Structure 1
Amino acid sequence: MSDQPDIGSDNSGSHDHNGASVVDMREYRQTRDPLPITFHRRELDAILWIYGRMVGEGLWRDYAIDHLKDKAVFSVFKRSGEYPLYRIEKNPKLAARQGAFAVIGADGRVLKRGHELKQVLKVFDRTLKLVE
């Protein structure tokens, strides 16, 4: 007696006696549950450069990264228990139309959207104003 199930007269292992086939689990999971959307290394470098600058200015203190099925989100917080000040999103479904990248404010408004992340991140560049 063994712990292995009884295999019929077909010793190939690809079909059992009911006609069912053996499926590779990696292939099944990829077709059933696609990999989440992620930021590439250069994209994350650009985001973290802005984040570091804002932390140095004392404006931001914490962040979170979410890799979802349809988009990747980098959320920025003033304090860790609050709603995010900004969300930097990558949504490949919008790449052909409005652009895959967007910066969204705390109120849900899209502050900037585009095809290139560096252009979208320019929304955080501060311009000097003349004060009289």
Structure 2
Amino acid sequence: MTDQPDLRHGDHRSADSSSSVVVDLKEYKQKKNPLPVTFHRRELDAILWIYGRMVGEGEWKDYAIDHMKDKAVFSVFKRSGEMPLFTIEKDPKLANKQGAYSVVNTNGMILKRGHELQQVLKVFDKVLKLVDK
């Protein structure tokens, strides 16, 4: 219902009338509920290749993928009931700054960050050894 009088057959409302605003429903929904950030197929292939290698070495046992509004996170676990050993994160807001991809350890320290996922995943190529005192 509007405060404007009814139109007679054949009459038109002017285009500049405030009540004749057309809104694209798809755009409106995307603004209200933006799609979550996800990993693309090639990104998942690279991550799962590293994951498979580390499982084969007995280092990792389980993983989880979270798609949130602001970032996507691939978490790897030694045991499923524990905190993740590492998280591989994709944050598009940082793409023009430090890089969208990062690897974070259990303590929250960023081990490597960059613009290309392949370069960031090279942090797992290093052989880490326990040093006894």
* TM score, norm. by length of structure 1: 0.77
Specify the SS of the correspondent of 1:111: strand
Q: Number of aligned pairs?
A: 113
Supply the AA of the counterpart residue of 1:61. Answer: K
Q: Which residue of 2 aligns with 1:16?
A: none
Specify the SS of the correspondent of 1:83: coil
Tell me, yes or no, if structure 1 residue 73 matches structure 2 residue 48.
no
Identity over aligned pairs, percent: 72
Q: Which residue of 1 aligns with 2:31?
A: 31
Q: Which residue of 1 aligns with 2:83?
A: 83
In structure 2, what is the Cα distance between the partners aligned to 1:21 and 1:97?
38
CA root-mean-square deviation:
2.1
Supply the AA of the counterpart residue of 1:85. Answer: L
Runs (4+) of structure 1 exceeding 4 A deviation are 19-25
**Equivalent runs, 1:1-132 vs 2, <5 Å:** 25-127=25-127
Supply the AA of the counterpart residue of 1:69. Answer: K
Supply the AA of the counterpart residue of 1:57. Answer: E
Offset of residue 25 of structure 1: 4.8
Structure 2 gaps, min length 5: 1-5, 8-18
Specify the SS of the correspondent of 2:112: strand
In structure 1, what is the Cα distance between the partners aligned to 2:65 and 2:128?
31
Offset of residue 26 of structure 1: 3.5
Q: Which residue of 1 aligns with 2:10?
A: none
Offset of residue 94 of structure 1: 0.5
1:32-57 CA deviation, whole Å, 9 max, x = no partner?
01100000110000000000000000
1:78-130 CA deviation, whole Å, 9 max, x = no partner?
0111100000000011011100000000010000000000000000003499x
Offset of residue 31 of structure 1: 1.3
Q: Which residue of 1 aligns with 2:3?
A: none
Supply the AA of the counterpart residue of 1:26. Answer: K
In structure 2, what is the Cα distance between the partners aligned to 1:38 and 1:86?
18
In structure 1, what is the Cα distance between the partners aligned to 2:32 and 2:128?
51
Offset of residue 28 of structure 1: 2.7
Offset of residue 29 of structure 1: 1.8
In structure 2, what is the Cα distance between the partners aligned to 1:116 and 1:126?
18
